[in-house]
Amino acid sequence: MDDFRDLDRRLHRRAFLSTAGALVVGLAAPEVWARAAPSSAASPNNPAMLADKLDAYLAVHVDGTVDVFYGAIDGGQGLATSIAQMVAEELDVSLTSVNMVMGDSARTLNMGGASGATGVSRRGITLMSMAAEARRALVERAAAKLGVSADRLRVADGVVFVDGDAEKRATYAELIGDKSFGSDVKWNGQWGNGHDAKGAAPVKKPADYKVVGTSPRRADLSRKVFGEQDFPGDLKLPGMLHARMVRPPVAGAVPVSVEEASIAHIPDARVVHIKDLLAVVAPKEWNAVRALRALKATWSESAPNFPDHDHVHDYIRAAAVTQRTIERENGDVDAGLKSAAKIVAGEYEYPTHSHASMGPACGLADVREDGATIYTSTQKPHYAADGIANLLGLPREKVRAVWMYGTGSYGRNDQGDATADAAVLSKTLGAPVRVQWMREEALGWDPKGTAAVNRLRAGIDANGDVVAYELISKGFSRENVATNEGRAAATLAGQLLGFPPEPKNTFNIPFASYTFPDNRVGWETVAPLMERASPLRSTHLRDPYGPPILFGSESFMDEIAAELKMDPVAFRLKYLKHPRDIEATRLAAEKAGWVARASPRADIDRSADVFEGRGIAFRRHFDTFIGVVAEVRVHRASGVVRPTRIVCAHDCGLIVNPETLTHVIERQLVYGTGRTTVEELHWDKDKVTSVDWIKYPVLHMEHAPPKIEIHLISRPDAAPSGAAEMALGLVPAAMGNAVFDATGVRLRRVPFTPARVKEALERA
Amino acid sequence: MTQRLTLNVNGQPHDIAIDDPDMPLLYALRDDLGLNNPRFGCGLGQCGACTVHIDGEPTRSCAMPVSAVGDRAVTTLHGVGSREKPHPLQAAWIEEQVNQCGYCINGWLMEGVALLKRNPRPSEAEAREAFSELICRCGTHNAAVRAVLRAAQQA
């Protein structure tokens, strides 16, 4: 076992004490004065929680280890290791000495959470500056101690020594071990994603990097492989009760009466019924499940009359617009379209998706007279603490959120909702409570990624140039509930207890690099299908507005190219100006062995059993530039579409850990394939019907692209710009374009199910 | 009525008291024995996160009544390998850096270990087939196949 793995184990032991056999929670006793306060509020007595103090960002211990206080989380994509590399680089310590303290609202500042793949690009950059400032402060102390000027000192592995006289030395541990830096940094005054702080010290030049740009193995891997990593479902608090939430048979129905006698035969099982919230609890977990199944309750009448999900896009087309926003406009699109020699128009439909997390949500709460502690895997634990304070009527500083590794959330999934459930139940019962959602809840009641209809038009002049372009995407707002659980109203429990919903009309259209003389890009929202405690309430799902809209816009680019009988790569390059746009597109095509020609391919044999084709899609997201080429095989008789190969060119500026980055891209291309080919939420007029892994199909091995090739474009001098969700949004269009190339049939609705593809092929 | 029964898990007998003979084995392992490697993913036998070996056969413990186990040998991930003595597939899993969130990992490792036992040199297609009924929402599918092939080479 290498050092890093031994370190994993040591850190793991430090973080959680467990006795053999019985798993009892033992949150690490605070190790240094700076982190002793259980309060999550910044206070003058606790400089480690003040955003303008260096102590809030890192601490050096007497054993030479370094704690980094990362006020966000690692969803399992290796972010913690990359951030540790960035800190080790600027601090000049070994990577193995760095311990990441993540997402604990009592020990870290609110830096937002997992959001928009900004871990490296925002928080990592902040912490590099903090590490550089800490190094400067430590070198200054060493200079005083050793009696030499600071410019004669060098640092390696946490040891400061005199250049040319390594015997004269002082370790970081000797210089500051477990003591306060006592120095200020410049905080920008913001919390959450906007949080930033800068130190006075300059950061290194990329050319001098030794740790950033290398690929040490992720620190969380071995704990997971050896089954040592505790998730919320593994915690047992003393005296804890297990709870299951009882959901209505029809959306919108509320419990009117409950027959407690129906669960009287189950040992120590109890009902909790507060306003519209209904739950069962028991000391033994299985008995809580039995009580859930046995409980008889009367529910109010409810008739949500959801429109048939198969025709939800027609519903969206016809529904009244609640808000229309043109995000980008230049030139005169109406005039451009009017004067065009030819108009190309197309519509593209994207379905509703569940977060469909691997594990249903699980949250724990221990609510006492003097405060509450929650144990949660939400992506935004600091906000969750805010929301629990709001929900329980506690002062914010009395709530501590302890974040734990959990099932990959990939957006605001159900985790925060389960945590809020647990908080309500723990307060009511006066005991710690663990709420485990069931599979049918995780699919039927998690916040959703919503459906959209993309309407596109392009005007082409006599020379074959695109002179006017319009994209209007219409659908449900993406924030029926907020993208974090910072308000009680944003949680299901809060809404069931009467906190009025606080919906927002948001949508957003992905950036497009193409330049057209007349251009209009915008969105329209329609009213939610249910206002309160809706199983269809929307919020952010991984790359919230990427896949739904890029499926339309990047398919449509292909559609125009086909109309003009142009090669789809050459057509895109004609309208791309930025060198990084151009390189990502070109590299993807080149590595895929792209042969320039128009789509569809000229040699389609309509009677063939199998069709093969290739398609490309491109995007720029923040400052990440991605080209994806998909090769597909389409089976005529069955309508099955499978990607046989995906090639991705990826430029996200500075690369911190190339191997981790490659993994992150590969995994999301697989995930994106599932969103493209199988995932689709179904419901009837009353409720969500996609409540298991058969009715909500997800990618299995047979659907996965067997060959994925990733080509990283390294730009050490460009700021890192994020990678954890940028590529997946290109999969639907790249695959759809490949199907068109193979068959001449344009797929206009995701997912590309066999029935849908077969029908499209037969219609052609 | 409370009943007592003995489970043979990872080579050790464990006495437990159960209120319901239909309780799935998963709950006995997790709630009674504190063996948390098998995870609750669906409770329907559809995802594999709860997989254990019963007499060497990969079995979904969420769909197996505890009273039906009898004296058969139950093996969990902890019984397969540890940090001190990793199974070759665990070592390969780390080398290939397969997992992301890791919630599904138990099922993949338990199926992969069973595959390597019955077929020490599986082809890529055989590895894909062995994992065909498992779910991973992070998309680690190809990496898992690479890990199996790596472990097979080193065995």
Verify that B103 and B143 share a domain, yes or no.
yes
User: What ipTM was reported for this prediction?
Assistant: 0.98
Taking the CA of residue A359 and the nearest CA in chain B, the distance in Å comes to: 5
Give percent above pLDDT 70 in chain A.
Answer: 94
| CB–CB contact A228 B109 (8 Å) | no
- Nearest chain A Cα to B84, which residue? A1
Q: What is the CA radius of gyration of chain B?
A: 16
| CB–CB contact B30 A285 (8 Å) | yes
Verify that B69 and B109 share a domain, yes or no.
no
Domain closes at, from B20, B47, B79: B79
For residue B155, name the pLDDT band (cuts at 50, 70, 90).
Answer: low
Tokens representing residue A58 in the block = 């890192």
The stretch B108-124 carries a mean pLDDT of: 98
| Cα distances (angstroms) measured from residue A422 to each of A180, A413, A494, B36 | 37, 16, 12, 21
Lowest-pLDDT range of A110-114, A519-523, A586-590, A682-686: A110-114
Chain A environment of B76 (Cβ under 8 Å): 227
A523, amino acid identity: W
Q: Which residue among A228, A267, A667 places its CB closest to the CB of B140?
A: A667
Chain B environment of A9 (Cβ under 8 Å): 83
pLDDT at position A7 over 70? no
| CB–CB contact B36 A358 (8 Å) | no
Query: What pLDDT was estimated at residue A41?
Result: 43
DSSP B19-62: S-TTSBHHHIIIIIT---SS--S-SSSSS-TTEEEETTEEEEGG
Verify that B143 and B93 share a domain, yes or no.
yes
CA–CA gap between residue A655 and residue A85 (Å, rounded):
11
| CB–CB contact A76 B42 (8 Å) | no
The stretch A417-428 carries a mean pLDDT of: 98
Q: A–B: how many Cβ contacts below 8 A? A: 183
Query: What pLDDT was estimated at residue A707?
Result: 98
Chain B environment of A406 (Cβ under 8 Å): 101, 103
> Tens digits of per-residue pLDDT, A645-691?
999 999 999 999 999 999 999 999 999 999 999 999 999 999 999 99
Verify that B71 and B13 share a domain, yes or no.
yes
| Cα distances (angstroms) measured from residue A511 to each of A360, A549, A588, A708 | 33, 10, 20, 26
Domain closes at, from B37, B61, B79: B79
Domain closes at, from B62, B79, B96: B79
pLDDT at position A636 over 50? yes
**Mean pLDDT across chain A:** 93
Verify that B89 and B73 share a domain, yes or no.
no
- Nearest chain A Cα to B88, which residue? A225
The CA-to-CA distance between both ends of chain A, in Å, stands at 59
> Tens digits of per-residue pLDDT, A220-260?
999 999 999 999 999 999 999 999 999 999 999 999 999 99
- Assign residue B71 the CATH number of its domain: 3.10.20.30
Bigger pLDDT: A299 vs A113: A299
DSSP A681-726: --B-SSSB---STTTS----GGGS-SEEEEEEE--TTSPP---TTT
Lowest-pLDDT range of A34-43, A360-369, A679-688, A733-742: A34-43
pLDDT at position A11 over 80? no
| CB–CB contact A660 B36 (8 Å) | no
Chain A environment of B2 (Cβ under 8 Å): 267
Verify that B71 and B86 share a domain, yes or no.
no
Best to test chain A binding among B46, B128, B141, B146 (most A CBs inside 10 Å):
B141
Verify that B71 and B107 share a domain, yes or no.
no
Chain B environment of A673 (Cβ under 8 Å): 139
Verify that B96 and B139 share a domain, yes or no.
yes
| Cα distances (angstroms) measured from residue A221 to each of A4, A641, A734, B81, B95 | 10, 33, 32, 15, 9
Chain A environment of B42 (Cβ under 8 Å): 360, 439, 692-693
Q: Which residue among B47, B105, B142 places its CB closest to the CB of A693?
A: B47
In A185-316, which ranges are E strands? 186-187, 197-198, 241-245, 255-259, 270-274, 277-282, 296-299
Taking the CA of residue B67 and the nearest CA in chain A, the distance in Å comes to: 14
Please give the biggest Cα pair distance in chain B. 52
The answer to whether A683 and A310 have CB atoms below 8 angstroms apart is: no
Tokens representing residue B48 in the block = 């594999």
Verify that B7 and B75 share a domain, yes or no.
yes
The stretch A483-506 carries a mean pLDDT of: 97
B40 in contact with A, Cβ within 8 Å: yes
For residue A47, name the pLDDT band (cuts at 50, 70, 90).
Answer: low
What H or E segment, with its residue span, contains residue A482? none
Q: Which domain holds residue B130?
A: 81-154
- Report which of A24, A53, A27, A51 is spatially closest to residue A38, judged by C-alpha positions: A27
- Nearest chain A Cα to B24, which residue? A286
| CB–CB contact A267 B19 (8 Å) | yes
Query: What pLDDT was estimated at residue B76?
Result: 98
Verify that B75 and B8 share a domain, yes or no.
yes
CA–CA gap between residue A244 and residue A497 (Å, rounded):
17
- Nearest chain B Cα to A699, which residue? B135
Bigger pLDDT: A45 vs A191: A191
Taking the CA of residue B30 and the nearest CA in chain A, the distance in Å comes to: 8
Verify that B60 and B123 share a domain, yes or no.
no
Tokens representing residue B43 in the block = 């409770």
The answer to whether B152 and B123 have CB atoms below 8 angstroms apart is: no
Q: Which residue among A228, A359, A408 places its CB closest to the CB of B40?
A: A359
Verify that B86 and B73 share a domain, yes or no.
no
Q: How many CB atoms lie within 10 A of CB A610?
A: 13
3-state secondary structure of B152: helix
CA–CA gap between residue A384 and residue A390 (Å, rounded):
10
- Assign residue B96 the CATH number of its domain: 1.10.150.120
Q: CA angle, A580 as apex, A579 and A584 as ends, to 5°?
A: 120
For residue A309, name the pLDDT band (cuts at 50, 70, 90).
Answer: confident
- Report the relative pairing of strands A371-376 and A399-403 from DSSP bridges: parallel
Query: What pLDDT was estimated at residue B34?
Result: 95
For residue A8, name the pLDDT band (cuts at 50, 70, 90).
Answer: very low
Cα A219–chain centre separation: 20
Query: What pLDDT was estimated at residue A46?
Result: 62
Domains of chain A, each with CATH number or no CATH = 3-229 (3.30.365.10), 234-302+356-444 (3.30.365.10), 309-354+447-542 (3.30.365), 547-763 (3.30.365.10)
Chain A environment of B88 (Cβ under 8 Å): none
Query: What pLDDT was estimated at residue A16?
Result: 33
| CB–CB contact B24 A286 (8 Å) | yes
Number of domains in chain B: 2
- Report which of A456, A530, A490, A352 is spatially closest to residue A746, judged by C-alpha positions: A456
- Nearest chain A Cα to B95, which residue? A217
For residue A308, name the pLDDT band (cuts at 50, 70, 90).
Answer: confident
Best to test chain B binding among A226, A414, A696 (most B CBs inside 10 Å):
A226
A246, amino acid identity: V
B61 in contact with A, Cβ within 8 Å: no
The stretch A489-518 carries a mean pLDDT of: 96
pTM for the whole structure:
0.95
